[in-house]
Amino acid sequence: MREIPQRELRNEIGKILREVAAGESVRVTVRGKPVAELVPIRDGRGPQRFVPRVDLLHAFHDVEIDESLVAEFLRDIAGAVDDEPEDPWA
């Protein structure tokens, strides 16, 4: 996620909102401290409902896996996955 100072948000609001609308997330800082995040609304109805595969792979890139927990993890995932995803065009 790209970080920008509040000053850049103020001066470039139109450009930044176009970037967010195109899918980029932006963290806004004040005096170097993060205070807000601008994130795209994925389907027009609210927050993102899924995690893109590339984001999941990135999040778990350096995680050591305890093999004894893999079966339990897979059961949890199976229970959370919707086999018939909602049609975004409906």
Q: Confirm whether 30 is domain-assigned.
A: yes
Q: Confirm whether 32 is domain-assigned.
A: yes
Q: Sign of the C-alpha dihedral, residues 19, 25, 30, 35?
A: positive
CATH of the domain at 24: 3.40.1620
Q: Confirm whether 85 is domain-assigned.
A: no
What is the residue range of 11's domain?
Answer: 2-38
Nearest-angstrom CA–CA distance, 25 and 39: 5
Whole-prediction pTM? 0.48
Q: Enumerate residues 6+ apart whose C-beta is below 8 A from 4.
A: 16, 26, 27, 28, 29
What confidence tens digit (pLDDT) does each residue in 64-89 have? 878 888 888 888 877 776 666 665 56
Q: Confirm whether 64 is domain-assigned.
A: no
Structural domain count of the chain? 1
* Radius of gyration of the CA atoms of the chain, in A: 18
Three-state DSSP class for residue 58: helix
What confidence tens digit (pLDDT) does each residue in 1-22 have? 899 999 999 999 999 999 998 8
Contacts 24+ apart (CB under 8 A), 43-50: 43/88, 49/86
